Amino acid sequence: MVPVAALTPPPSLVPDVVYPDSDGQPMADNTQQFRWITVIQYNLDWIFAQNPQVFVAGDLLWYPVEGNNKIRQAPHVMVVFGVPKGDRGSYQQWKEQNIPPQVVFEILSPGNTLAEMIRKQEFYSRYGVEEYYIYNPDNHELTGCLRQEESLQVLETLEGWVSPRLGITFHSLDPELQLLRPDGTPFISYAEVNERLEAMAQELETTAQELEASNQALQAERDRADRLAQKLRALGIDPT
């Protein structure tokens, strides 16, 4: 009879790899950078809100290689087609049908270096990103890269460019970049959304008040007609 201990495989000498949810770096270095990150993320969320197989995330660590937690990047905004929406501590590609983010945005700050941006482009090129957009809100410079064959290649111009994956249009308008949704409406901030909601709420309140006033006037007219009918009946006249 084989001893029970012989049937149990020895524990692995290699500990489980931990994939941290944070790299210890701030999401943004200043308010302008943060505003652009959130505007792009929220608007892309709204565009694909009805598609359960489009995942949009901001400042989420992406681990493309299982077993190596040193190979990672946290795009300011990334979009993944073909995986379900939902909360994640990090994007571990091997758990997501091995689908890499197809579209990535980076918003520059004064702290970014050329070497850093070159490393990011090499990373995104190596691990399967199809579209890579870099925007510098300080000088309004926009750069885009599109995958051609096995690597990302810089696009000559992005004026009027339509993203193959996202369907959004890029316009370099003074004083800053303008992004248009597939229906032609511009990207807007949460503050602008709130302003529009407040305006709509005020409009609905005004309409409700007008309807109430109209209903009151109609009821008053009905009451007057009832009183007149009662007087006619008192005189022996059938008002009907």
Position 9 scores a pLDDT of 46
Position 200 scores a pLDDT of 66
pLDDT digits (tens, 9 = 90+) for 53-100: 999 999 999 999 999 999 999 999 999 999 999 999 999 999 999 999
Q: What is the mean pLDDT of residues 100-117?
A: 91
Amino acid (one-letter) located at 216: Q
Question: Cα(172)–Cα(158) distance, rounded to whole angstroms?
Answer: 8
Residue 13 pLDDT class (50, 70, 90 cuts): very low
Residue 1 pLDDT class (50, 70, 90 cuts): very low
State the CATH architecture for 31-187: Alpha-Beta Complex (3.90)
Mean pLDDT across the chain: 87
CB atoms within 10 A of CB 46: 14
pLDDT digits (tens, 9 = 90+) for 173-230: 667 899 999 999 999 987 776 566 566 666 777 777 777 778 888 888 888 888 888 8
Question: Where do the domains of the chain lie?
Answer: 31-187, 189-240
Residue 111 is classified by DSSP as T
Position 210 scores a pLDDT of 75
Position 199 scores a pLDDT of 61
Position 7 scores a pLDDT of 46
Q: CB-based contacts of 37: which residues, under 8 Å, 6+ apart?
A: 27, 28, 58, 59, 76, 77, 105, 107
Residue among 222, 220, 226 at smallest CA distance from 234: 226
Which range among 20-34, 40-54, 111-125 has the greatest average pLDDT?
40-54
